[in-house]
Amino acid sequence: MKLRQWLIALSALAYARRRRRREQPGPQPDGSHHRARLSRSPGDGRLVPPVPADRRAEHLVAVLLVVAALFAAGFVVVYAELEPSTLTNQLLGVCIAGSLACVAAALAVLARRLVVTEELEEDYPEPDPQAQDEVAELVREGAGGITRRRLLVGAAATAGGALGLAGLTPLLSLGPLWDTTPLQATPWHRGRRLVDTGGAPLRAADIEEETFYAAFAEGAEPDEIASLLVLVRMSPSALRLPPGRADWAPEGILAYSRICTHAGCAIELYRKPRFPALEPKPALVCPCHYSTFDPATGATVIFGPAGRPLPQLPLLIDASGYLAAAGNFSERVGPGWWGVREEPS
Amino acid sequence: MSDRIQDPVRFIDERTGAAPALRKALRYLFPDHWSFLLGEIALYAFLVLVLTGTYLALFFEPSVGKTVYHGPYAPLDGTQMSEAYRSVVEISLTYKAGLLIRQTHHWAADVFIAAIVIHLMRVFFTGAYRRPRELTWLIGLALLFTSLLEGYLGYSLVDDLLSGIGLAIGYGVLLSVPIIGGPLGVLLFGSAFPGKGVLESRMYIAHVFLIPALLAMLIGAHLALVAARHHTQFRRDRRHTDRRLVGIPLFPAQAPRSLALLFAVMAVLFLLGGLVQINPIWQWGPFEPWLATNGAQPDWYLGWLIGALRLMPSFDVVVGHYTLIPNPFWGGVAFPLFVLGVLATFPWLERLLTRDVRAHNVLDRPREAPTRTAFGVAFLSWIFLIFAFGASDRLYVLFGVSYETLLDVFRFAIWVVPAVLFVLVRLLCRELGHTDRIERERDCAEREAGQAGAAAGAPGRVESRA
């Protein structure tokens, strides 16, 4: 109740102040803070002061507008006459920009020389405590007949929530609401061959050191992310693979998932030292955020933001010398999520 | 007797009752200061975006179904690619004026967000967000962050190599949301990245309808709130107070100025679109998930997120077998949300700290609020340094400093530089404020002396404009 008294006092004050102000006009005789009527100049009774005629400015505006029209016509001519090319594009851009710039210039001259720039004053709008009070009162009194307000609010919230849920339900057709199986899918199993970008099977003998290859699962869909491999050959004596992976790299040929474990870009850089004495060892690098993996040690992270090594695919060389998987990846493929570290099934 | 102006006015007013509102609107006062035009530049860039975007939508094919390109661009002739990419290559190289409109659209997006950011800085450093304009500030922030998403979707639609890399990173960031990230990614992309082709139409409807409609509504609300409380103003002389607004009326003075700015913005954007190449997608080639490229950079307004992703040290937060917080979450989600949170709560934080709860219509000069200005400069420098590291591979090419060294330097600098700047800027503001006070006192003294002189009948300076 104290609040209410305060509000009434405030509104009375504000009202009185407004009355006072209306009685004494502001310091500027233009009186533009009067809301209802605009003030007129005491001399000639005009609302907007006259601006002296400026023939030269008028001519300038006319010339600018004509030039704008010429540029626009130029645009049409270029469009009609020239074949698509870099030059056509440049001419079209210059024509349309020239036309727009001339209109802008004409308007600027108009603003400066042909219309009056009056500096006026007015009061900032102020909140009306009386109106605020009355709105609150209207709401309070209008809803005053409802006695079991809590019950009704609860029921309305229930209805609204249920309706909203029902309305959103068709969106479930967009996709599975809670399905992580696509994140775990892999085309690899023992014996599945590796193919190159053209789909031809890869022979172990064709894989050279000091470069890297893209490889895919034979017959896999091109957009199957777990199919994508990066393939390198290193000297078997240089390998320091984690325990249990001794036979994963026949002849020193290593296959890792091509998808960076940080944010999912493709591993597209192979850093091979040109001056081994000065430069660091060979590394697989993602060009997006420069996560860097050491192929000799099972693609452990040696630099950059990635939190997991690249999953390694165990390889075998079949009887005819072709490369094939000897099993599934060591870990799940792709950027991290809740279940990425679970044991692959 | 007929009157060419009065008759239509009467016709409209009799049928709509618009005359009183129009009378008020034509006399709406605009404070005359160049910095109030920054928001207008963003508005006009948005207009250009809608116009050019509508044109592009007539030719764009939102599908990643496979097709083979045959056309004037020889290096891609006979290449298999998506319908989406083929249609953008054709917009760029086959249709007359297509490249102009596409490049203007791209430039307008970059300028739109740049104008919003600079406008935000002006509003921040002058304290324009204070009571009674907190809602305007919040809507402005919503506009900025919605625009970032809109821009990202726009260049992701094209399905060239660069946009595919951007989408891959977006997918990685989405998956990194704790617990729900994985299923959310599958839901949105329709499967594991790159998905089964459902994403393109989802991004398309969002980019051309849902988000632009949201942006238009937010812009409408932003402008309505500005008009409802009127513009803020700088204190140029004694007439400018928190109660009294000084400005030039919409008509006739402001209207041609604003229109001139509209045409000037359009002229600049079309000139850029015509002469300055941007995102030549035919050179990047179609996206394949097994491809990426070195030196790839996003549009400028996403650089801060790339920088944050790159700066994070290598770790995942792991609980048992489960990965609670994968690494990209920090740079891609937590960092922008933190920036948004600080900006959104700033008006209330400041009120808590300064206990200044009054309504303000007169702006501060940055020096008049040393702590706010110092905090703003420090916060901006923090974001800017992270942004700069987003181009760290370019910095390496430019300056020849190794990436590893740059990483160490930036990891240090992003904390030290803002702290140093905070102290320095605060000192500088206080010093400037001190000088201001001395000048004001001298002015006052001179005025009093002048008035005393005038009263005594001597010719003196009567009025001096501060």
Higher model confidence: residue A68 or residue B455? Answer: A68
What pLDDT is attached to residue B460?
A: 43
Contacts of residue B342, defined as CB under 8 A and 6 or more positions apart, other chains included, come to B379
CA distance A152 to chain B (A): 31
CA distance B160 to chain A (A): 14
Structure tokens at B252: 């006739």
CA distance A270 to chain B (A): 11
Residue A335 is nearest to which of B176, B230, B259, comparing CB atoms? B176
Confirm or reject contact between B252 and chain A (CB < 8 A): yes
The DSSP secondary-structure symbol of A266 reads B
pLDDT > 70 fraction of chain B, expressed in percent and rounded? 97
Q: Which domain holds residue A79?
A: 54-118
What pLDDT is attached to residue A14?
A: 60
Q: Where are the domains of chain B?
A: 25-287+300-355, 365-466
- For the stretch B13-65, pLDDT in tens is 999 999 999 999 999 999 989 999 999 999 999 999 999 999 999 999 999 99
- For the stretch B263-295, pLDDT in tens is 999 999 999 999 999 999 999 999 998 898 888
Residue A21 has pLDDT above 90, yes or no: no
Residue B203 has pLDDT above 90, yes or no: yes
Residue B4 has phi, psi (to 5 degrees) of -65, -20
What pLDDT is attached to residue A16?
A: 56
Residue A42 has pLDDT above 80, yes or no: yes
Provide the mean pLDDT of chain B. 93
Interface test with B, best of A64, A123, A179, A223 (most B CBs within 10 A): A223
Residue B215 has pLDDT above 50, yes or no: yes
Complex ipTM: 0.92
Residue B330 has pLDDT above 80, yes or no: yes
Euclidean distance between CA atoms A126 and B292, whole angstroms: 58
What pLDDT is attached to residue B396?
A: 87
Closest to B451 (Cα-Cα) out of B462, B440, B464? B462
Residue A36 has pLDDT above 80, yes or no: no
Closest to B177 (Cα-Cα) out of B306, B341, B332, B342? B332
Would residue A14 count as lying in a domain?
A: no
Least confident of A277-286, B83-92, B225-234: A277-286
Would residue A123 count as lying in a domain?
A: no
Closest to B348 (Cα-Cα) out of B336, B356, B337? B356
Q: What is the pTM of this model?
A: 0.91
The DSSP secondary-structure symbol of B318 reads E
Residue A101 has pLDDT above 70, yes or no: yes
Check B244 against A124: CB less than 8 A apart: yes
Q: What is the DSSP string of B336-397?
A: HHHHHHHHHHHHHHHHHHH---S---BPPPGGGSHHHHHHHHHHHHHHHHHHHHTTHHHHHH
What pLDDT is attached to residue A43?
A: 83
Euclidean distance between CA atoms A257 and A229, whole angstroms: 5
Instruction: Read off the pLDDT band of A331 (50, 70, 90).
Output: very high
What pLDDT is attached to residue A3?
A: 64
- For the stretch A223-271, pLDDT in tens is 899 999 999 999 999 999 999 999 999 999 999 999 999 999 999 999 8
What pLDDT is attached to residue B359?
A: 94
Residue A24 has pLDDT above 60, yes or no: no
Strand partners, A254: A232
Euclidean distance between CA atoms B87 and B106, whole angstroms: 16
What pLDDT is attached to residue B141?
A: 98
**Cα end-to-end span (Å), chain A:** 69
What pLDDT is attached to residue B448?
A: 84
User: To 10 degrees, the CA torsion angle through B282, B285, B289, B295?
Assistant: -90
Confirm or reject contact between A17 and chain B (CB < 8 A): no
Distances in Å between the alpha carbon of B372 and those of B35, B38, B125, B343, B351?
A: 19, 21, 7, 12, 11
Higher model confidence: residue B45 or residue A145? Answer: B45
If one counts every other C-beta atom within 10 angstroms of the C-beta of residue B134, the result is 16
Residue A84 has pLDDT above 70, yes or no: yes
Would residue A48 count as lying in a domain?
A: no
Residue A222 has pLDDT above 90, yes or no: no
Check A116 against B252: CB less than 8 A apart: yes
Structure tokens at B55: 């044109």
Euclidean distance between CA atoms B215 and B139, whole angstroms: 10
Strand partners, A213: A231
Residue A22 has pLDDT above 90, yes or no: no
Would residue A158 count as lying in a domain?
A: no
In contact, A266 and A214? CB cutoff 8 Å: no
CA distance A26 to chain B (A): 10
What pLDDT is attached to residue B464?
A: 42
Least confident of A242-246, B368-372, B442-446: B442-446
Helix or strand or coil: residue A151?
helix
Q: What is the mean pLDDT of residues B57-75?
A: 95
In B131-243, which ranges are E strands?
A: none
In contact, B390 and B304? CB cutoff 8 Å: yes
Q: Do A212 and A314 sit in the same domain of this protein? A: yes
Instruction: Read off the pLDDT band of A27 (50, 70, 90).
Output: very low
Give the distance, in angstroms, between the CA of residue B318 and the centroid of all CA atoms in the same chain: 36
Residue A154 has pLDDT above 90, yes or no: yes
Would residue A139 count as lying in a domain?
A: no
Structural domains of chain A, count: 2
What pLDDT is attached to residue B118?
A: 98
Contact list in B for residue A117 (CB cut-off 8 A) is: 248, 253
Euclidean distance between CA atoms B302 and B153, whole angstroms: 12
Residue finishing a domain among A91, A118, A145: A118
Euclidean distance between CA atoms A114 and B257, whole angstroms: 12
Q: Do A206 and A111 sit in the same domain of this protein? A: no
Closest to A340 (Cα-Cα) out of B336, B334, B202, B329? B329
Q: What is the mean pLDDT of residues B449-459?
A: 66
Distances in Å between the alpha carbon of A46 and those of A39, A40, A42, A117, B363?
A: 9, 5, 8, 15, 33
Structure tokens at B297: 């950079």
What pLDDT is attached to residue A344?
A: 59
Helix or strand or coil: residue B294?
coil
Residue A277 has pLDDT above 50, yes or no: yes
Q: Hey, which residues 129-168 in chain A have their CB within 8 Å of chain B?
A: none
In contact, A312 and A329? CB cutoff 8 Å: yes
Check B260 against A105: CB less than 8 A apart: yes
Burial of A24 from C-beta contacts in 10 A (0-12 / 13-18 / 19+): exposed
Q: Hey, which residues 134-173 in chain B have their CB within 8 Å of chain A?
A: 165, 168-169, 171-173
Fold category of B25-287+300-355 in CATH = Cytochrome Bc1 Complex; Chain C (1.20.810)
Structure tokens at A290: 């420069």
Check A103 against B263: CB less than 8 A apart: yes
The DSSP secondary-structure symbol of A294 reads E
Contact list in A for residue B242 (CB cut-off 8 A) is: 124
Higher model confidence: residue A2 or residue A303? Answer: A303
Q: E strand or H helix at B172, and its extent?
A: helix B161-175
Euclidean distance between CA atoms B303 and B151, whole angstroms: 13
Residue A167 has pLDDT above 60, yes or no: yes
Instruction: Read off the pLDDT band of B440 (50, 70, 90).
Output: confident
Confirm or reject contact between B122 and chain A (CB < 8 A): no
pLDDT > 70 fraction of chain A, expressed in percent and rounded? 87
Residue finishing a domain among A76, A100, A118: A118
Instruction: Read off the pLDDT band of A15 (50, 70, 90).
Output: low
Instruction: Read off the pLDDT band of B237 (50, 70, 90).
Output: confident
Would residue A242 count as lying in a domain?
A: yes
The DSSP secondary-structure symbol of B17 reads -
Contact list in B for residue A268 (CB cut-off 8 A) is: 291-294
Contact list in B for residue A101 (CB cut-off 8 A) is: 263-264, 267, 271
Q: What is the mean pLDDT of residues B151-172?
A: 95
Domain of A273, CATH number, reads: 2.102.10.10
CA distance A105 to chain B (A): 7
If one counts every other C-beta atom within 10 angstroms of the C-beta of residue A65, the result is 17
Would residue A148 count as lying in a domain?
A: no
Provide the mean pLDDT of chain A. 89
Q: What is the mean pLDDT of residues B304-316?
A: 95
Residue A283 has pLDDT above 60, yes or no: yes
Helices (H), A143-228: 149-168, 181-184
- For the stretch B298-308, pLDDT in tens is 999 999 999 99
Would residue A319 count as lying in a domain?
A: yes
What pLDDT is attached to residue B459?
A: 47
Residue B463 has pLDDT above 80, yes or no: no
